[in-house]
Structures are given as structure tokens and as C-alpha cells.
Structure 1
Amino acid sequence: MTDVFFRSATDVAALMRAGRLSARELAEMALDRIEAINPAVNAVVETCRSAALDAGAAADRAVARGEPVGPLHGVPMTIKEAFPVAGMRSTWGSPLFAGHVADRDAEVVRRLRQAGTVLLGTTNVPPMLADVAQTANELYGRTLNPWDPTRTPGGSTGGGAASVAAGLAYLEYGSDLAGSIRIPAAFCGVYGLKPSAGTVPLSGFQPPGPPLGASDMAHLSAVGPLARSAGDLRMALRATGGPEEPDAVAYTWRLAPPRHTWLADFRVGVVLDHDGAAVTGEVGRALSDAVDDLARAGATIVAGWPDGVDPIGQAESFGFEVAQFFAFHGGDTTFATLPQVVEQHDRRMAARAAWRRYFAEVDVFLCPATFTTAFPHPGIPYGERVHHELAFWMAFASLAGLPAVSAPIGRTSGGLPIGAQIIGPPHEDDTPITFAELATEVLGGFTAPPVAG
């Protein structure tokens, strides 16, 4: 039965809609699998067995009655512990909130339930989500990489990436400010999407406490799915994207179609290395081989940075924007003067304009997801250099609010996953998703890790 746990979410939803697979039985098997496999990775920190089995049974009854069902009907999934789920703990990995139990669902959780998913439990995070390199905290301990337990799964959605990779869930929903979806996806060999800014509502996604007021910093932070196939990212995004009330009264949202449906039709911008975060030899070779394979498949390769994109300058601007983000959310408000804020705003808008001009001619931009593969767990927090170099490759999509897919493209000689980042035009998320999906024909895709059994 192991094979069923590595089917795509789209496939198992279709089987359940057709009455060929029981949602309750699958939920029970998935929960049993978590009990058996999770101790080897410590990805899932809390389960809701009774609620999950009840949801699965309700899904089966809906099919039996011929009722309309959602696109992810009966699909077992996990979700990052930072998302409030009614009746479950949401501590953000901090002892300060150890006893906090959410009294309502975040908007994303509500939409995922509406789409038919069966929530199995929540996944581990670093304290206050403040680490892209590792996932460990005093409450739940350390999450291990399913490819090598001596190595990190990344952060801050490290628990979610490990859960999906190990076959504990078909989908995960995470968050990405400075690469917290894309880095763990690359380290664990799965797919992860940071959607275009503003596509998926952030309502309810906050530390425990009084509801936060609205903030225009939403251009920087995004929430999005992780999965074992690019197609599942598309399905999850369709289920969760779009405005909330009262904006939904005025306008609706739909996922724009991809620019192309054949790999050979894509124009692919490519940058494989930079001194600001130089890639390791094995990562560089894998990226170079991937580009060669794409070219042989007929894709047009456009080498070099876009005109008007200063990589170091945009990385520095991204660092400023992250500091400003935290200032808007209770952090240090004295880190910059008003003239500096205005200057950085202008630089961000210039970056957005440069990328928009570039995507008028090029369809996707391929670059490293991370400069290295997953590295060994530390005894102390990682140094600034590692954090800086991980954030460097995340900066460009985040600064300009662009959609970006982290996709597995191969493994090192030692068996560790290597990921590429595929950045797309603003509000055309299905273009990088479809490119990643088509690229599996020549690059391969997800492979189950050793811990999967």
C-alpha cells in the first residue's frame, strides 16, 4: 500500500470522486503512517485523528449521495503550525505561546476545507518562523531531513516539506517571506510555490494575540502550497486564491492560463551562479545539466540577468524590505530614516518595472533555489553568511512580488536533492507551474526518500 501514499493529490481526489477510494480509509491509513514514519523525521507535531476520520467519512457520504464535491475532495494534508486551525495548537514554535489553542480557522484553512481536503495535523516550525536554514524549537524539537536525518530540512516550512517528502501527507500549506517555502522544498526534494503577491489571503496568519491591523507589506509575505507534483500546486492555488469580503463583492480572481503548453515553446531566462551566493560544484553541475536538457528538448535559452536588474542591489533592497516588514509588525521602527524608506520604495518599484519588461519577452527565469544542498544540523544557530546566501536567491521574486516555483531537478552523488527556482511573470503563476510540470519530462521530478519505506 506504500504506493498510494505517493500518488498525486490530484489523482487521489479523482479516485475518491469516482468512488474508487474511501476518504475515511485513506485518512486512517495516513494517520497510521504518521505514527509509524514521523518519529524518523519529527515533521508532524500534532494530529487530529477524530476530526480527520469524521471529515473522511463525511466525504464518502457526499460521494455516495452524488453531491457536488471540491477539487481536493478527501485529500489528506498537513499544514504549517503557524496557521490557526480551530481546536489545535498554534504556538509559532515559541514557549511564550505553548498553551495557545486556536478558536478559529485561518482563511486559507477554511478554503482548503471547502475544497474538500482532510486535515491530518500540523507541522513543525522554528521559533516565530525566524529561520530559513533549520526547523527546531524547544516545544517540539528538531525536524530531520527525510533524505538524511543528520541534515536540515530548511525552514521555516521545514516540517511541511519533510511531511510531503516522506509521504505523510499529499499537500502542505506554508508561508514564504524570505524563502520559507522554496528553501525547504529544495532541501527535501519536493515542489513549493510562492504565489504572486496578494493572490492568497493572509487573514488569520499571525502569532497568537489580538488580530493585527491591515498592512501594505503584503507585497513581501506570501502563503502557498508544497506538493510532490507541480500539478498539485496548481490545484491548491486554485482552491485558495482570490479576494476576501468585502473586496470579493467588487472583483473576482481566476488563475490565468499558462503562456505555453509545450516545453519547446518556452523562452527560458537562465542565471546559474553569482558571487553573491556562489553555488557548490554539485549544485552548479546539476543546474547546468538541466539547462542543457531543456535546450535539447527545444526550449529557447536566454542567458544572463535581465536589463535593469542589479543582483547585489536588489538583494540589499530585499534585506531592507524584510527589516521594514518586521518594523510594521512590532519590531524596531528606528532602523531607517524616512528618506531611506522613500529611496528603498523607489528601488523596489524600479525592480518591479525591470522584471515586468523582462517578462514581456521571456516566459520564465531559472536560477538556483539554494546555493547548496541540505547541510548538517548545527549545534548553534547558523551563521549570518549562510542565511545571507540562502536569502540571496530568494530576493528577486520576493522583492518584486513574483510567483516562484522550487522544483527538484536531480540529486548529488550522495543522494541529496537539488532544486531549481523558476520565477514567472506577475499574476501568471500557472506559467512557472506549467513549465515545472513539463520539465519533469526531461529533468525528472519527485523521488521518494529513503525514510519513506
Structure 2
Amino acid sequence: MTNLLTASELVAAYSSGEISPVEATEAALRAIEERDGEINAYCLVDRTAALEEARASETRWREGNPIGWLDGVPTSIKDMFLTRGWPTRRGSPCIEENQPWDVDSPVTARLRENGLVLLGKTTTPELAWKGVTDNLLTGITRNPWDPTRTPGGSSGGSAAAVVAGMGELSVGTDGGGSVRIPASFCGIVGLKPTHGRIPLYPASPFGALSHAGPMARSVDDVALMLDVLALPDHRDPAALPPPESAYREAVRRDVRGLIAAYSPTLGYAKVDPEVARIVRAAVAALDDAGLRVEEADPGFTDPKEAFDILWSTGAAQWLNTFPPGSEERIDPGLRRVWQQGRTYSASDYLAANAERAALGILMGEFHTRFDVLLTPTVAIPPFEAGHEVPPGSGLSSWPEWTPFTYPFNMTQQPAISVPAGTTSSGLPVGLQIVGPRHSDDLVLAVAKLLEEVRPWPTDRPAGRGSRVGT
């Protein structure tokens, strides 16, 4: 198996002259050509624009004048972010391709300003509505470790692209786990930062649940991306002020001696026994490394009912703006969510939002006793692609198999998924680290400690693309 360079290693190679941004971009494009027919991670690839950006970066590096810490790194963007010159159809046949696309979202603007090479846009379920990735426009996206399995979602295209070497970095969205689920299923790092840490525009109809998040193969790379993406943008009134220090430095903070709660079920979740065993072993490694781990539940019951109200009313509000006749053209599962959302009253929404706020207060109190909370990221390993729930499971909707992710969208806390190990069949399993609001640096530092004490494999899945420089 051939090792991949992380983005941090790639930038070091640019600086030394060992590798150029053009070589790295050509390698990523070769990987897309070789693997994406099987994986279906991209809905758009712009080879011409990517090579043009790579040549400009190569000139900057040659002249000793890179414009950012990630200048020249091949990167993808989930097809939920507005991107000047490329359509943003969000996986929906109801969004017309032939219209002006002349605005960059804050995420896209920051990537351009810092010199990253934009390869194209990654797949999403329609309007990012579920925890797996397929849509009526581009079909099913598959897990590079086993293409019969799902990569998760809704940022499944981004996770699949990163792990298959089709670009070192990507940016996803996370309204109920959509960065962390595919990070867990694909064996990469995915961060949902504190709400407002990464500015969003246009405003998401999912409101307080909605986040953007970096996805990469190392914790250092995620920290570097957050330094780029956390820069302010006036178009998001909920955006936080610029961070006081660089995440690329804070990630190396010494966290030994801090107190972590380990909750294997949050007090209510049913977890696959193999997932539970793998996560417990990773938690034990953190404890052995000096993080003081105590088993403790936060003390809340499953907030799925309130989450469903917030999620479905947001979807309904968005879909109500779609052209007449859209109800018959959208994903049948999304149509069900639309219909559900229209049954709730303003009183129902306000009650759910009050429950969301109460949950945030409870977790705030919990973190006066525990610096971080450790849980499995997802309760099950990756399952058969093309299904919202595992076939034969008896489950009815995607939140039922990911009970560890959506509560922390409701509380707006930072939460990161890092690889914890693999199942007996070689499928990745993630550990989730949750911190108090505004403690993005802390969750990154704990994730870095796990990366150091339990290094995860850096090989591409079988069928991988070409290595940079070969």
C-alpha cells in the first residue's frame, strides 16, 4: 500500500522544491480519473481551472511568496457552497444549472484567498438532508474502503474524495452529523466547529443546527484548514469574531491531566458491539497517555423528537421556495421530510428550540466537571450503499443509527471525529471528541493526542490513484 502525503507534508515539499503544486494537482486529477467512476465522489471536476490555479501557486512558491499556509493544496468543496463559475445544484433536479453563478460563499472565498487549488465539487444527497450520500442527479456515492458500502453523509463525497487521494482536503456541511458521520465511515478526520466559527452565506434554513467543517487525513491539516475558514465574513451576522490564536499552534497544546468523560451510549444509544470495543480501546489509549478518563453520561434523554422538528421545519421552509411541481421531482425521502415539516406549528418549533437551548445549558454544566466528552462517532459500521438505513435493521430514518452526532448540533458545541480503528472486515470506526462551546482548540488538541498514541493507517484503499511524484 502506498502512503499518501498529508496537506502539511505536501506544503513542506513545496517549500523544499521536492514537489510542485502542479505535480500534486496532476496526481489528484489522475486519482479522480482512475477511481471516481467507481466511487462517484465528484459531481463536477474542472481540470483546466485547477491546473491554472496550480501553476499560479507554483510560481508563488518558486518566488518564495506563498499566500497562505495551504497554498497549492488540491482541495474539493461540497456542492452546498456557492462557487463562482460553477453551478451549485445541491444534489437537486429542481435547481437549474443554467443560471448566473457569480458569487462565492465565505468558505469558497477563503479557500481562493489562501491559494488552495479547487479541483471541483463533491456529491451530496439532495439539500444535504440525510446521513448517506446519493441523489437523483448523480446516483450513489460509495465508500473507497468497500464500494458496496456507504461513505456516510451528507458530506460523503468529500470524505470519499479525501480518503481515495482525490484531493488532500475538503469542506463539508454538518447539520446533524454530516461531516462526522462520513469521517467515521471513511477513516479520516472531520470537525464540526463551534456554531458561527466558520461563516456561512446564504443563511442555512436549518438555522442553529448548521455548520461547515474541514475534512482531511490528519489533525494538523484540519487545524490548518480551520485557520483559513474561520476568517470573518460580513455576510454572516452570526459569525464569531476571529480566533485569538492560531489553531495550527493550539493543536499541540498539552492536554495530559485534563478530565474526559467517556459515555459509551449517552445513556440511551444501542451500539454495535464491535464499534463499542474499538472505541473503548481508543479511549483506554488516551487514558494511558495521560488524559484522565472517567465513564459518565451527560444525563439527557434522546433529543431526536426535537431534532426532527427543527430539521423537518427547516427543510420545509426551504422547499416551500422551490418552483411549483417540485414535490414530485425531489428525493422521495426528502418529500417525506417536507410533508412532516409542514405539519408542525410555530408553537411546536419554539418548543423544540427551547429544548435545544436547555440541552446546551445542561452540557455547559457538564463541562464544568469534564473538559471533554468522548463517545463513538456513529453507533454502527458502514452499511450497504444506496439505503438510508441498514437493510433489515427495522430502522425508519437516518438519525436512528447516528444518535451521537445530532445532539451536538443542537448544543452548537465543537465535535470532531477521528479514526479509532477498523472492524474485522477492514471498515473504519470513529471516536468523537466533544468540547464546550468555543473550545475548538481543545478538541483538536485531544484529537492530536489520539493521533500520536494510536496512529491510524495512511494508505489509500485498494484501487487507489497515483502517488504524488511517481
Aligned 1:27-426 pairs, distance under 5 A? 27-97=25-95, 99-100=97-98, 102-132=101-131, 134-204=132-202, 218-245=207-234, 252-254=241-243, 258=250, 261-273=253-265, 276-306=268-298, 309-312=299-302, 314-331=303-320, 334-378=342-386, 384-385=395-396, 387-426=398-437
Letter in 1 for 2:43: V
Return the TM-score normalized by structure 1.
0.89
The structure-2 alpha-carbon separation of the partners of 1:280 and 1:200, relative to structure 1 and needing over 3 Å to count, comes to same
**Separation (CA, whole Å) in 1 of partners of 2:209 and 2:388:** 28
Return the TM-score normalized by structure 2.
0.86
CA shift for structure 1 position 73? 0.7
**CA displacement, residues 384-438 of structure 1 (integer Å, 9 cap, x when unaligned):** 5451323421122111100110111000111110111111111111211111111
CA shift for structure 1 position 300? 0.6
> Contact 2:152 / 2:382 at 8 angstroms: preserved in 1?
yes
Are residues 1:450 and 2:462 paired?
yes
Deviates more, 1:399-408 or 1:293-302: 293-302
The structure-2 alpha-carbon separation of the partners of 1:442 and 1:311, relative to structure 1 and needing over 3 Å to count, comes to farther
The structure-2 alpha-carbon separation of the partners of 1:136 and 1:361, relative to structure 1 and needing over 3 Å to count, comes to same
Question: Which secondary structure does the structure 1 equivalent of 2:173 belong to?
Answer: strand
More relative contact order, 1 or 2 (CA 8 Å, 6+ apart):
2
**Separation (CA, whole Å) in 1 of partners of 2:256 and 2:388:** 47
**Separation (CA, whole Å) in 2 of partners of 1:87 and 1:432:** 35
> Contact 2:76 / 2:158 at 8 angstroms: preserved in 1?
yes
**CA displacement, residues 309-361 of structure 1 (integer Å, 9 cap, x when unaligned):** 4132x333222222343344345675334443343333222211121222233
**CA displacement, residues 198-252 of structure 1 (integer Å, 9 cap, x when unaligned):** 1111114xxxxxxxxx57953210011110011111111110114322789x984
**Separation (CA, whole Å) in 2 of partners of 1:68 and 1:117:** 10
Letter in 2 for 1:452: R
**Separation (CA, whole Å) in 1 of partners of 2:446 and 2:210:** 24
Q: Which runs of 5+ in 2 are unaligned?
A: 321-337, 466-470
Deviates more, 1:109-118 or 1:8-17: 8-17
**Separation (CA, whole Å) in 2 of partners of 1:33 and 1:260:** 32
> Contact 1:228 / 1:446 at 8 angstroms: preserved in 2?
no
CA shift for structure 1 position 167? 1.0
The structure with the greater share of residues assigned to helix is: 1
CA shift for structure 1 position 33? 2.0
Q: Percent of counterpart pairs with the same letter?
A: 35
**Separation (CA, whole Å) in 2 of partners of 1:422 and 1:344:** 25
**CA displacement, residues 158-201 of structure 1 (integer Å, 9 cap, x when unaligned):** 11111101111110101011111111111111111111111111
> Contact 2:133 / 2:154 at 8 angstroms: preserved in 1?
yes
Deviates more, 1:190-199 or 1:253-262: 253-262
Q: How many residues get paired?
A: 437
**Structure 1 segments of 4+ aligned residues over 4 angstroms from their partners:** 214-217, 255-260, 330-334, 378-384
**Separation (CA, whole Å) in 1 of partners of 2:236 and 2:178:** 28
The structure-2 alpha-carbon separation of the partners of 1:194 and 1:315, relative to structure 1 and needing over 3 Å to count, comes to same
Structural RMSD (CA): 2.6
Question: Which secondary structure does the structure 1 equivalent of 2:406 belong to?
Answer: helix
